[in-house]
Structure 1
Amino acid sequence: MPASPAAASLALAQPPLPTVSTPEKTTLTIIGLGFLALLVAAADADADRARLSLYAALSLVSGGTLAWAWLKYGRQPAGLQHDNLWLRGSTSRGAVAWVTAVVLTGFYVLLYWYSTPDDKGNFGLLNGLVHTLDPFSQLLRQRPADQWFLYGTFYTLAILLMGGRALWKYRHSRYQRLRTGSVMFFQLAFAFLLPGVLQFFQQPEFYFTYFWPLKYDYLFPSSFEYLIRDGQALGVFMVVWGAVMSFVATPILTYFYGKRWYCSWVCGCGGLAETAGDPYRQLSDKSRAAWRWEVRLIYPILALIILVTIIVWLNYWLHGALLGSLADGLYRFYGFVIGAVFSGVVGVGFYPILGNRVWCRFGCPMAAYLGLLQKHFSRFRITTNGGQCISCGNCSNVCEMGIDVKQYAQRGEPIIRASCVGCGMCSTACPRGVLNLENGPREGRYQGSSFIHADSLRLLS
Structure 2
Amino acid sequence: MTSPTVMTTAPVSPVSVPEKLLLAVVGLGLLLLLPVAFDADAARARLCFFAALGLVSAGTLGWSWWKFGREPAGVRQNNLWLRDSTGRGALAWLTAVVLTGFYVVLYWFSNDDGQGNFGPLNQLIHALDPVSQALRRRPADQWFLYGTFYTLAVLLMGGRALWKYRHSPYQRIRTASVMFFQLGFAFLLPGLLLAFQRPEYYFSYFWPLKYDYLFPGTVSYLLKDGGPALGVFMVFWGAVMSFVATPVLTYFFGKRWYCSWVCGCGGLAETAGDPYRHLSDKSRAAWRWEVRLIYPILGFIVFVTALLWLGAAGVLPGWFTTPQQSGLPLVSGLSPVDGLSKVYGFFIGSIFSGVIGVGFYPLMGSRVWCRFGCPMAAYLGLLQKHFSRFRISTNGGQCISCGNCSNVCEMGIDVKQYAQRGEPIVRASCVGCGLCSTACPRGVLNLENGPRAGRYQASQLISADSLRILG
Q: Which bin holds the TM-score, normalised by the shorter protein?
A: over 0.9
1:142-157 to structure 2, matched below 5 A, reads 142-157=137-152
Counterpart of 2:372 in structure 1: which amino acid? F
| Partner residue, 2:453 | 443
Listed as ranges, the gaps of 5+ residues in structure 1 are 453-461
| Partner residue, 1:223 | 218
Match of 2:305 among 301, 305, 309: 309
SS of structure 2 residue aligned to 1:282: helix
| Partner residue, 1:289 | 285
The answer (yes or no) to whether the contact 2:381–2:429 under 8 Å persists in 1 is yes
1:124-139 to structure 2, matched below 5 A, reads 124-139=119-134
1:9 & 1:35 partners in 2: Cα distance? 43
1:144-223 to structure 2, matched below 5 A, reads 144-223=139-218
| Partner residue, 2:357 | 347
Q: Deviations over 1:76-120 (max 9, x none)?
A: 011111111011011010000000000000000000000011021
Counterpart of 2:126 in structure 1: which amino acid? H
2:390 & 2:281 partners in 1: Cα distance? 24
| Partner residue, 1:84 | 79
Asked if 1:109 corresponds to 2:97, the answer is no
User: 1:126, CA displacement in angstroms?
Assistant: 0.4
Q: Deviations over 1:155-188 (max 9, x none)?
A: 0000000000000000010000000000000000
Match of 1:53 among 48, 53, 57: 48
The answer (yes or no) to whether the contact 1:444–1:451 under 8 Å persists in 2 is no
SS of structure 2 residue aligned to 1:403: coil
1:35 & 1:419 partners in 2: Cα distance? 35
Asked if 1:361 corresponds to 2:357, the answer is no
Q: Deviations over 1:255-277 (max 9, x none)?
A: 00000000000000000000000
Match of 2:251 among 251, 255, 258: 255
| Partner residue, 1:375 | 385
User: 1:302, CA displacement in angstroms?
Assistant: 0.2
The answer (yes or no) to whether the contact 2:395–2:461 under 8 Å persists in 1 is no
2:343 & 2:337 partners in 1: Cα distance? 10
Asked if 1:388 corresponds to 2:384, the answer is no
Identity in percent = 75
Q: Deviations over 1:433-459 (max 9, x none)?
A: 00000000011111112389xxxxxxx
Listed as ranges, the gaps of 5+ residues in structure 2 are 323-334, 463-471
Counterpart of 1:308 in structure 2: which amino acid? V
The answer (yes or no) to whether the contact 1:34–1:57 under 8 Å persists in 2 is yes
Asked if 1:298 corresponds to 2:303, the answer is no
| Partner residue, 2:266 | 270
SS of structure 2 residue aligned to 1:438: strand
Over 3 Å counting, the alpha-carbon distance change for 1:186 and 1:77 in structure 2 is same
Match of 1:331 among 332, 341, 356: 341
User: 1:43, CA displacement in angstroms?
Assistant: 1.3
SS of structure 2 residue aligned to 1:431: coil
- TM-score using structure 2 length: 0.93
1:164 & 1:44 partners in 2: Cα distance? 32
| Partner residue, 1:66 | 61
1:148 & 1:205 partners in 2: Cα distance? 11
The answer (yes or no) to whether the contact 2:39–2:45 under 8 Å persists in 1 is yes
Counterpart of 1:310 in structure 2: which amino acid? A
In angstroms, what is the RMSD of aligned CA positions?
1.4
Runs of 4+ in structure 1 deviating by more than 6 angstroms, as ranges, are none
SS of structure 2 residue aligned to 1:437: strand
User: 1:9, CA displacement in angstroms?
Assistant: 4.5
Q: Deviations over 1:304-336 (max 9, x none)?
A: 000010111111111872332122111110000
